[in-house]
Amino acid sequence: MPSVISAPILAHREVAPRHFVLTLHAPPIAASAQPGQFVQVRGVDWVDPLLPRPFSVMRAHRDKGDIEILYRVVGKGTALMTRWQPGGNAQVFGPLGKPFQLFPYGARVLIGGGVGIPPLLMLAEQCGRRPEAMRAATVVLQGARTADQLLCVEDFQRTGVTLELATDDGSTGHHGLVTDLLKPHISRLQARYGTVEVFTCGPMAMMRAVAETCRDGGVGCQVCLEAPMPCGFGVCMGCVVKVRGAWEIGQGSRRIKGWTMERHYKRVCHDGPVFDANEVVWDE
């Protein structure tokens, strides 16, 4: 059950150029947030800008009741947020949306870039708590333009899962697109673990390329989408994405899903933000 909270700001620090991590004390949100879910954040007295800004939950410390978000300064709202100081309060509500769905078996590839990284860190930390033998079955692939734009590298390393990096200028890791790294990993993990599920969040073009690779490779793929979100909790119909009609038979691991020719709009905030990549109509 989501809550609306005037949350004390506990910490606020710049972690990369124009990227900040904000720590808020929000116990009910921390208690239930799952990877892929987000919160709506707003200054307590905002009128202009008016609407809350959606940010993925990057960490939820259930014991302390704190959550962390990582944001990039891109406009009016995020510019105002940079002035927030510990001791003040921020309005936050959530957790919102449907989280990534994890199956207990099989290998996982987390692939993303930019501000798609925060939900993947939360997911990676969860994967890092899998039994020792399965930790190697999780791979994180992160891309950025340059090395200084890579996010949370040490945090990913600490989780114990495999991390590979790619930069457009070759300043760190693979010289090129992060999606170049995907196919070899899928083949390798498929041979070793049987099933592979891919989780992606980042720029639309990247997620689309990931979705295509997964479709061709016959592996499952969950995408975490973005859209302008006035409400974030499903009431305004402002954040829609075009999806295919779906059918489903069976249950649990025996479940078989398929798609029809029918198309309609779904709310990214409430029906997502995590969708089956095959459900999304990418060319709209």
Partner 1 sequence: MSSDQLPVNSDQLLVTPHQQRAGRDAPSLQIHIGPLCLRNPVMTASGTCGYGEELAEFVPLDKLGAIVTKTVTRHPREGNPPPRVCETAAGMLNAIGLQNVGIERFISDKLPFLRDAGATVIANIAGEDVAEFAELARRLDGVGGVAAIELNLSCPNVAGGLDFSTDPQLTEATCAAVKAATRLPVIAKLSPNVTDIVAIARAAVAGGADAVSLINTLVGMAIDVKTRRPKLANVTGGLSGPAIKPVALRMVYQVAQAVSVPVIGIGGIMTAEDALEFLLAGASAVQVGTATFTNPRVSLDVLEGIERWMQENGMGSVQEIVGGLRLAEHVPTLAR
Ligand X SMILES: Cc1cc2nc3c(=O)[nH]c(=O)nc-3n(C[C@H](O)[C@H](O)[C@H](O)COP(=O)(O)O)c2cc1C
| Binding string, residues 86-115; x marks residues near partner 1 by CB under 8 A | -----x-x----------------------
Q: Which is nearer to ligand FES, 198 or 225 (CB)?
A: 225
Q: From CA 182, how far away is CA 64, in angstroms rounded?
A: 36
Question: Cα angle at 113 between 109 and 114, to 5 degrees?
Answer: 150
- From 19-27, 76-84, 122-130, 229-237, span contacting ligand FES (CB under 6 A): 229-237
Q: Which is nearer to ligand FES, 10 or 227 (CB)?
A: 227
Q: Residue 91: is it exposed, middle or buried by C-beta count within 10 angstroms (0-12/13-18/19+)?
A: middle
Residue 65 as a binder of ligand X (CB under 6 A): the answer is no
Q: Which is nearer to ligand FAD, 5 or 57 (CB)?
A: 57
174 near 166, Cβ under 8 Å?
A: yes
Residue from 16, 136, 238, 240 in contact with ligand X (CB under 6 A): 238
Residues 149-188 that bind ligand FAD (CB under 6 A): none
Residues 217-256 that bind partner 1 (CB under 8 A): 227-228, 230-241
Residue 82 has a CB neighbour count (10 Å cut-off) of: 13
Q: From CA 82, how far away is CA 72, in angstroms rounded?
A: 10
Residue from 236, 240, 265, 266 in contact with ligand X (CB under 6 A): 236
- We find the least distance from the C-beta atom of residue 187 to ligand FAD, in angstroms, to be 31
Residue 225 as a binder of ligand FES (CB under 6 A): the answer is no
Q: Which does 41 bind (CB under 5 to 8 A by kind): ligand FAD, ligand X, ligand FES, none?
A: none
Residues 175-214 that bind partner 1 (CB under 8 A): none
Distance of CA 146 to the CA centre of its chain: 21
Task: Find, among 240, 276, 274, 242, the residue nearest to 258 by Cα.
Answer: 276
Residue 49 as a binder of ligand FAD (CB under 6 A): the answer is yes
Distances (CA, A) of 218 to 109, 205, 212, 250: 14, 20, 10, 20
Q: Which does 27 bind (CB under 5 to 8 A by kind): partner 1, ligand FAD, ligand X, none?
A: none
62 near 31, Cβ under 8 Å?
A: yes
Length of the chain: 284
Residue 269 as a binder of ligand FES (CB under 6 A): the answer is yes
Q: From CA 278, how far away is CA 245, in angstroms rounded?
A: 11
Interface residue list for partner 1 (CB under 8 A): 1-2, 4, 42, 46-52, 91, 93, 227-228, 230-241, 264-265, 270, 284
